[in-house]
């Protein structure tokens, strides 16, 4: 299996078929090279490595997104924890690290987003 195929498979495993199908339906010739880069690099290389678990990758990814204030990506990656095994407690622990090492305001906003997504996932 080549890196693109591996990335596509891992992306679907983590994010779910529905999310990937919608994303691919929105893809155009303009952003196709970018989508290929992400599929091969992020999903086919980083997320496909067996050096750490998917649970740990979710925690690291969420902490990095919060620390770099890339808040728009957080809901997608919190939803993905249903497939990676990271618990609500795991995510909150990751955000505590963000508070100490990257700043309380960033972590506070990430926690707010997480609480909203957790409630959505529980059907509240």
What are the structural domain ranges in the chain?
Answer: 1-51, 52-124
> What is the mean pLDDT, run by run of 10 residues, along the chain of 124 residues?
94 96 95 96 97 98 98 98 97 98 98 98 92
Q: Is the dihedral of CA 43, 39, 16, 76 positive or negative?
A: positive
Bin 27: left if φ > 0, else alpha if -120 < ψ < 50, else beta.
Answer: beta
- Is the distance from CB of 93 to CB of 63 less than 8 angstroms? no
* Model pTM score: 0.94
pLDDT number for residue 107: 98
Cα(90)–Cα(71) distance, integer angstroms: 18
Provide CATH code, domain 52-124. Answer: 1.20.1290.10
């Amino acid at each position: 299996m080549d890196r693109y195929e591996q990335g596509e498979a891992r992306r679907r495993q983590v994010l779910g078929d529905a999310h990937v199908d919608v994303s691919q339906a929105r893809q155009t010739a303009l952003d196709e090279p970018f989508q290929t880069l992400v599929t091969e690099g992020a999903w086919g290389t980083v997320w496909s490595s067996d050096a750490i678990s998917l649970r740990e990758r979710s925690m690291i990814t969420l902490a990095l997104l919060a620390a770099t204030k890339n808040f728009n990506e957080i809901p997608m990656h919190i939803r993905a924890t249903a497939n990676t095994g990271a618990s609500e407690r795991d995510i909150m622990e990751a955000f505590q690290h963000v508070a100490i090492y990257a700043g309380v305001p960033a972590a506070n906003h990430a926690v707010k987003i997480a609480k909203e997504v957790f409630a959505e996932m529980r059907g509240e």
